[in-house]
Amino acid sequence: MKTQPIVHLGVLVMISLLGLTALFFNESNSVGGAVIYDRVIVEEYQSECSDNDPLENYDVKGSVLYRDYRYNDFCSNNKLFQVYCDSSVRVGVTHGYQCLHGSFEGVCLE
């Protein structure tokens, strides 16, 4: 039958679309139990990502605004994780930076 490869392709496309939809609409807001964003109310929809601090600035708690969310730098196991704009439409999180004196609420302690 010649239609069999087309059926298999259709099933594969449907599964891929379902997976992407689930990934896109995932509302998880934590990594390892640490909250990485807070819902904020903005007057205007933020279609592009904007960051308020540079990476590797470990003594300032930074945040990123994208759409109607604010994503905050956070700590987990004395490591600092910084959020940043990976692109104009994507938020990224750095690998954990080991703070020498521990970390608290998104900053390294001095």
Q: pLDDT (tens digit, 9 = 90+) per residue, 29-44?
A: 555 555 566 666 667 7
Say if CB 37 and CB 70 are below 8 A apart: yes
Q: Label residue 20 by pLDDT band (50, 70, 90).
A: very low
Place of tokens 């609409």: 25
Q: 103 falls in which pLDDT band (50, 70, 90)? A: very high
- Number of Cβ within 10 Å of residue 110's Cβ equals 9
| Closest CA relative to residue 42, chosen from 72, 71, 65, 73 | 65
Give the chain's mean pLDDT. Answer: 76
Q: Assess whether pLDDT exceeds 90 at residue 88.
A: no
**82 vs 65: CA distance, rounded Å:** 13
Question: 78 pLDDT band (50/70/90 cuts)?
Answer: confident
Instruction: Tell which wins on pLDDT, 27 or 96.
Output: 96
CA distances to 2, 6, 14, 18, 47 from 35, rounded to whole Å, are 51, 44, 32, 26, 23
